[in-house]
Homo-oligomer: A and B are copies of this chain.
């Protein structure tokens, strides 16, 4: 094990109807006025908006609505949220939605307490404070409900970048698996792919010597597969939805990477370019990138890939394990090739150039040059 700091102060409140406690949680924490961030109007049609505002009113929490967050949230909309939060002098942010809503809310929480443009924090400025964040999540996928990461796209520059700070861990996140039972199956599948992507980055790229983390990662992947095999046929199965929901949270809350060294997130890096340029769902992009990256990477760490093949799919060689993963992605109707997402192969150089700039920002451009990224993408043709 390598040296690490693990500090995850988010309080998780998990279970049926728990969104009705959000007003109490915000009041207990001492806040009175929130920016209520959400995406589409579906939360009004479903009754969720009404249940949450009822809880806020019951506990004398006032709120300012800020809807319209899009999938792959954008910096121009984030800036509007910052302006509104400043103007209305809110003392906290309440995010209700999936990972996009949470990520944009984190950025708003940072930007509201700064005179800088909020994008500055995505290109290197250190986050030193943020408004407290409360969340009610409606999609199991990103883990944003229990970590300090936020990814936002600058739609002018086509940069999909992230901030990472202890200051944007949610204070309280409410996870009611019932809310995910109506998620369309394609987005359920993208969530499953995303959760797997979160754990395989460290699993494959780290230095050797982490028996515990290997086992935890394998436990998470096996649970993602088992629960989603049920969800695909019984979308409202509460047991499967709830087990997957908590698994997706644990997949990116720091647990599986604590004690690792020299791991990095190349699949996410390349995918960010796909979704920044083509605005596809993050999980869809990952389902395309992961098998391609694995095919490129497996001969560099054959023992790792043989273990993966054996432990997850019970097959005996690295290539077979990768094929099984790709087959499983297809079985849940996730795209696995660029053409499945209508991305032309002749755009690979342009995508690789975009991703290479993020590789530079992350300090992994010694391995992930534009040429290498293009080579990886060619495995997805």
Contact = CB atoms under 8 A, between A and B. Distances in A.
Interface of A: 1-16, 18, 177, 209-212, 215-216, 218-220, 222-223, 226-227, 239, 242-243, 245-247, 250, 255, 258-259
A260 to B, nearest CB: 11
Closest 4 CB pairs of A and B: A3-B15, A215-B219, A1-B242, A7-B11
A227 to B, nearest CB: 7
B14 A4 contact: yes
Instruction: List the number of copies, as a whole number.
Output: 2
A167 B11 CA distance: 14
A6 B2 CA distance: 26
Contacts of A18: 3
Contacts of A223: 211-212, 215
A213 to B, nearest CB: 9
A128 B330 CA distance: 52
A167 B166 CA distance: 21
Contacts of A2: 15
A3 B255 CA distance: 21
A222 B223 CA distance: 18
Contacts of A250: 212, 255
A239 B1 contact: yes
Given A212-B219, A219-B216, A226-B211, A12 B1 contact: no
A129 B358 CA distance: 47
A253 B98 CA distance: 27
Contacts of A13: 5
A320 to B, nearest CB: 22
A364 B329 CA distance: 46
A219 B2 CA distance: 19
A2 B223 CA distance: 16
Contacts of A219: 212, 215-216, 218-219
Contacts of A8: 8
A12 B16 contact: no
Nearest to A3: B15
